[in-house]
Structures are given as structure tokens and as C-alpha cells.
Amino acid sequence: MKALHTLILVACGLVLSTSAMAASSKRIQQQIDAADLVHVDFEISIAEIDIEVYDGDSIELDLHIEADRDWWIFGRNDIDDVELQVDRNGEQLKLRLDDDDIEQEWVVRLPAHLAVSMDIGVGEVQFSDFANNLNMKLGVGSMQLNVAEGVDFESIHLKVGVGDTSVRGFDNGSDNERSFVGADSWYHGDGEFVIEVEVGVGDARVRRH
């Protein structure tokens, strides 16, 4: 019995040692030349995303990723092999990190001339000073978009299956409708850009100050 107990302790020590050696978190920083791009597509599983729009020609990315806990090894899984996938096709760029077993925090500085599409499983997304086309699908979570000062849109449509929507701050006003569990918001203005956002469960809000 004493020998068995010793073997168990040794095995646990080896597992813990192996777990400690494997990376459970890391930071990815990248700068991408976007002067010749017109559109960027984000495909992300689970994340908190903060996007600041600015007048520049480079996409600046700062990602912190951390593995989910694995209770079997009393720690976190290894993420050494997790990498951001960057695919450029002409004027289109796709950024993809759709591993369900990692926690992601994205801080992005995005050139104002880029249109955006997003496909996110679960997350919280915030835009600052946005002024372009946006097409977004979010399974569960929230989207808050703050419009750049003085910018108008051709149309805005926010749809949430379970939750709430709102469009605020535009001179032409907006229509906000609630159903039993969901909501829709519409806006039609004099601008050139279009925003389409669909959320399964959560909320979506667009505001111009």
C-alpha cells in the first residue's frame, strides 16, 4: 500500500510538472499593412473585443489568449500551438482564431477606410469612432458601437432574438421595436454606409454622440 501511495504521488508530480512547463497563456502582437485593403473579416469563437477606429493604414492587433482550465491536470491546457490565422486575398483580409478552448481578449486599432464583417460565437464587442460598413453575427453576447462624430449612415438594422436593441443620437430618429423576448431597431439616414447586426441572445446598441 505504501508503494502504491508513493507511485501515485510521483505520477501527480509528473503531471503537474508537465503542466507547468506547457504555456497556458500568451500574447500576440501584430501589425498588418492595410493600405491596399478595403475589407476585413473577423472569425472568432469566444472573446472580448475592443476596436478603435483611427486615421491610418495599419491594422494593429494586441491579443491576450489563455487556455481554459483542465481540472484533470489541476491547471490549464497548453496553447503553444495556438496561432492567429491571417489570410489575405486581394483587397480582403480574414483574421481567424476560433478555438473554443481558449479565452481571448482583442485590442484592435483599425483604419477608418476598412469595411468590417464579424462572425463571433460568444463575446462582447465594442467599437469606438466607427464610420464604415459593418455586417456582424454574434451568437451570444453584446455589441456596443459608438459612431464617429458627424457621420451618418444609409441604414442601420439591429436584430436580437432574445434581448434588446437600440439606435440613438441620429437626427432622423430611429424605430425601436420589442417583441415578447427579442427586439429590432431600424434607422434610415443620408449617409453611404450600412450596418447589419444580428445577435442570438444578448443586446446590440448603436449610438452617435
Q: Tell me what pLDDT residue 2 has.
A: 52
* Domain edges within the chain: 24-208
The model's pTM is 0.83
- pLDDT band of 174, cuts 50, 70, 90: confident
Q: Which pLDDT score, from 0 to 100, does residue 78 have?
A: 60
> Which residues make Cβ contacts (< 8 Å) with residue 82, sequence separation at least 6?
26, 65, 97, 99, 102
For 114-164, write each residue's pLDDT tens digit: 999 999 999 999 999 999 999 999 999 999 999 988 899 999 999 999 999
Q: How far is CA 12 from CA 7, 15, 172, in A?
A: 9, 5, 66
Q: pLDDT tens across 18-67, in order? A: 344 446 788 999 999 999 999 999 999 999 999 999 999 999 999 999 88
Q: What is the pLDDT of residue 18?
A: 37
- pLDDT at position 76: 45
List Cβ neighbours of 149 (8 Å cut-off, separation of 6 or more): 129, 208, 209
Chain-wide mean pLDDT for the chain? Answer: 86
Closest to 185 in 3D by CA, of 30, 193, 198: 198
pLDDT tier for residue 98 given thresholds of 50, 70 and 90: confident
